[in-house]
Amino acid sequence: MGVSLKDIAERAGVSLATVSNVVNGYRPVGERTRQRVQAAIDELGYTPNLSARHLRRGRTGLIALAIPELTNPYFAELAEVAIHEAGRLGYTLVMENTAADHEAESKLLNGSQRHVIDGLILSPVRVGREEVLARAADTPLVLIGEGVHDVPHDHIAIDNVAASRLAIRHLVESGRRRIAFVGAGRGDDRHSAHLRVRGYREALAEAGLAYRAELVAVTARFGRRDGVHAMRQLLALDEPPDAVLGYNDLIAIGALRAAVDAGRGVPEDVAVVGIDDIEEGRFSTPTLTTIAPAKEEIARLAVRRLVARIEGAEVTGPLTVQTPFRLIARESTTGAPGRAGT
Amino acid sequence: MGVSLKDIAERAGVSLATVSNVVNGYRPVGERTRQRVQAAIDELGYTPNLSARHLRRGRTGLIALAIPELTNPYFAELAEVAIHEAGRLGYTLVMENTAADHEAESKLLNGSQRHVIDGLILSPVRVGREEVLARAADTPLVLIGEGVHDVPHDHIAIDNVAASRLAIRHLVESGRRRIAFVGAGRGDDRHSAHLRVRGYREALAEAGLAYRAELVAVTARFGRRDGVHAMRQLLALDEPPDAVLGYNDLIAIGALRAAVDAGRGVPEDVAVVGIDDIEEGRFSTPTLTTIAPAKEEIARLAVRRLVARIEGAEVTGPLTVQTPFRLIARESTTGAPGRAGT
DNA sequence: CTGAAAGCGCTAACAT
DNA sequence: ATGTTAGCGCTTTCAG
């Protein structure tokens, strides 16, 4: 095994507690003693055994970020910020991939990881409000995204109804009249899709446009492939749409590609908008108009809240925080050739 | 705090050791006793405290996967498989983002995480062979990718020279003569780029084509943006290239977009090939021809090797494993409209 | 097949 | 400013 506190204590001729204090700085240590101890640490190459520390402290310093898919750039970008922020606060972030699987989400929620993880940031997809309420774990939980609402936990998300409305308004202003939505959920299992569809409907109503069920395409998942399939069907309609809002950027990019395959011009024949502002959409052909949530803010806030709860700090302010978002108009709706990367 | 072994022992009227044996199954336990213990466990809702277990066992069950960027889909796809495989083997995988930073890689290598992590899978970018040789940590290390060669550690990678050659051969066969490489490294700090450039040069020589330094574009990093910048400069040459091999798919996609911006047809005016086979390239316009490494195999193998070393198993076979790869020809070189998603 | 007890390395309460 | 010590929850000899 490695070098322990005891080894250092013996080498430096001091007690265990003193070494611990040099390492952790909880109590003041005399300058001369500190130097002797530090020298011993350096010579012997001591690093604290974190398992022991965790056992003693009752905390592990690990927090988990559970997302439905790592390969969705939106979550990868979120994770990158979260990892950094966690590190800054002295925590290690463990990524958990739920694969949008109900059991995986449920297990995480109910602390299958108890004693391993001090807290959980979850982006729920399948798990419902009741399950979150009935959760049998005592570690702090922060929710991100729109999967679950109105639960006694911190919750960071954008206002999805408003985001969706902003996107539709942009399409209406550019003269579109037959606007489709791609990526709705089936039944109750995808709450955020419902909210985005709601925004879509509200904005149509505001603009005096009729809602047509055949223009709302359900998809099984949230990938490019799903966007392609759904879009093919929409384009096969007698009266195909002249614009599409994707549930997210990946679906929008799939829709975009399906339009190209079908020989339709984007945006001349059909305009496309997504939600997420993933980097891919800044370099696609055409570049993708999108709703950009403040991703850094979401990730940072989620981590900070969680850590604050873990450390028992007074957390003021409302449980639910709505982070800002904005529309970024690019070629897929404006047609104006932009400069890639912006 | 939670329920401990002691609580279960008292409840079931047995000793600590017996409960431990029911939980771990190291020694046989009488059927009646087992049932009584199991009942107590279920009633009280016991989960083992892993910190204590780790302290006692001297291992944590955590392994780290250190990659230069989470937002590069290639690594995200790799990570997804690695997380799954680690879970299957009873380990938790922690992602570490080195951000292609020398210090971050070096710290990880030298066990700043000692006692936290049982083993490390590293995709080195900045750290060199000497540093890996001089590493001051005793946990097993598995290298992936082409950053470092000829060190006494397991190493999983594709043959980058051969991969690059295959790509160039494909371009030559389709009649290209002025072939550029985008994404070379500057100086010694990016080994895998050197290998890919070497393959490029070898294939040019084989085809009887002259090597021209102005057709090898150096980039600072490996993103879409870098591809765009480099490609702009190549297209501004008096004799611009009629084909480009990108260091990876992201760079190739940037190059592709820059060509479009400059009004060049892809592949009519300039063909584009990447390396990695990220999903994005299956849906871009045009879809991207690429060299596809066996990502699942790389990830799975890396995890398995690492775990085998951690558990002290006999590991047979060579230290370095070269995983297979293949060329996937898509629109960016063939021009033939493909069906998106394949 | 079961029990008693040592001790992994650390922190924190209590002494000095 | 420094030392002593109990004990976090578990695994694992050694005894029976």
pTM of the model: 0.91
Residue B25 pLDDT: 82
| Tokens matching residue B203 | 């294939």
Residue B297 has pLDDT above 90, yes or no: yes
Cβ contact, residue pair A84, B70, below 8 Å: no
How many Å apart are A18 CA and C16 C1'?
14
Same fold, B5-48 and B160-293+327-334: no
Cα distance from A209 to chain B (closest Cα, Å)? 32
Which of B84, B116, B279 has the CB atom closest to A50's CB atom? B116
Residue B316 pLDDT: 77
Q: How far apart are CA B201 and CA B282, in angstroms?
A: 27
Residue A298 has pLDDT above 90, yes or no: yes
Residue B1 has pLDDT above 60, yes or no: no
> Do residues B211 and B179 make contact, with C-beta atoms less than 8 angstroms apart?
no
Q: Which range is most confident: A125-139, B16-30, B85-99, B292-306?
A: B292-306
Residue B185 pLDDT: 85
User: Residue A317: pLDDT band by 50, 70, 90 thresholds?
Assistant: confident
Read off the pLDDT of residues A75-87 as tens digits, 9 standing for 90 and up. 999 999 999 999 8
Residue B253 has pLDDT above 90, yes or no: yes
* Statement: the CB of A17 is under 7 Å from strand D: yes
Query: What angle (nearest 5°) sits at the alpha carbon of residue A24, between those of residues A21 and A27?
Result: 45
Read off the pLDDT of residues A184-232 as tens digits, 9 standing for 90 and up. 988 656 667 889 999 999 999 999 999 999 999 999 999 999 999 999 9
What value does the mean pLDDT take over residues B272-283?
98
Which of B60, B224, B260 has the CB atom closest to A51's CB atom? B60
Residue B254 has pLDDT above 90, yes or no: yes
Q: How far apart are CA A111 and CA A134, in angstroms?
A: 12
* CATH fold for the domain made of A160-293+327-334: Rossmann fold (3.40.50)
* Statement: the CB of B25 is under 7 Å from strand D: no
What value does the mean pLDDT take over residues B69-77?
95
What value does the mean pLDDT take over residues B76-92?
91
Residue A189 pLDDT: 60
Q: How far apart are CA B263 and CA B285, in angstroms?
A: 14
How many Å apart are B136 CA and D7 C1'?
33
Residue B51 has pLDDT above 80, yes or no: yes
Name the percent of chain A in helix, strand, coil, to the closest 5. Answer: 45, 15, 40
Domain ranges for chain B: 5-48, 57-157+295-311, 160-293+327-334
Residue B288 has pLDDT above 80, yes or no: yes
Cβ contact, residue pair A279, B224, below 8 Å: yes
Q: How far apart are CA B93 and CA A94, in angstroms?
A: 7
Q: For D6, which residue's CA is nearest its C1'?
A: A56
What value does the mean pLDDT take over residues A290-305?
97
Cβ contact, residue pair B115, A280, below 8 Å: no
* CATH fold for the domain made of B5-48: 434 Repressor (Amino-terminal Domain) (1.10.260)
Cα distance from B132 to chain A (closest Cα, Å)? 18
What value does the mean pLDDT take over residues A259-287?
97
Residue B24 pLDDT: 85
Phi/psi-derived region of residue B285, left when phi > 0, alpha when psi is between -120 and 50, beta in every other case: beta
Q: How far apart are CA B64 and CA B113, in angstroms?
A: 9
The percent of residues in chain B predicted with pLDDT above 90, rounded, is 61
Residue B34 has pLDDT above 70, yes or no: yes
Q: What is the dihedral of CA B264, B265, B271, B275, to 10 degrees?
A: 90
Cβ contact, residue pair B254, A2, below 8 Å: no
How far apart are the two ends of chain B, measured CA to CA in Å? Answer: 52
The percent of residues in chain B predicted with pLDDT above 70, rounded, is 96
Q: How far apart are CA B105 and CA B223, in angstroms?
A: 19
Hey, which residues does B216 pair with through a beta bridge?
Answer: B181
Residue A114 pLDDT: 61
Cβ contact, residue pair A51, B51, below 8 Å: yes
Nearest nucleotide, CA B18 to C1': C2
Given CATH 3.40.50.1970, say whether it is the number of domain A57-157+295-311: no
Residues in Cβ contact with A104 at an 8 Å cutoff, skipping those fewer than 6 apart: A96, A97, A98
Higher-confidence position of A9 and A188? A9
Which of B70, B73, B136 has the CB atom closest to A79's CB atom? B70
Residue A190 pLDDT: 63
Nearest nucleotide, CA B6 to C1': D9
Residue A110 has pLDDT above 70, yes or no: yes
How many Å apart are A39 CA and D2 C1'?
18
Q: Which range is most confident: B102-106, B149-153, B273-277?
A: B273-277
> Do residues A91 and A64 make contact, with C-beta atoms less than 8 angstroms apart?
no
* Statement: the CB of A20 is under 7 Å from strand C: yes
Residue A7 has pLDDT above 60, yes or no: yes
User: Residue A338: pLDDT band by 50, 70, 90 thresholds?
Assistant: low
What value does the mean pLDDT take over residues A77-105?
91
Residue B154 has pLDDT above 70, yes or no: yes
Q: Strands, DSSP E only, in B135-191?
A: 141-144, 154-157, 179-184
Residue B338 pLDDT: 67
DSSP characters for A66-108? Answer: EES-TTSHHHHHHHHHHHHHHHHTT-EEEEEE-TT-HHHHHHH
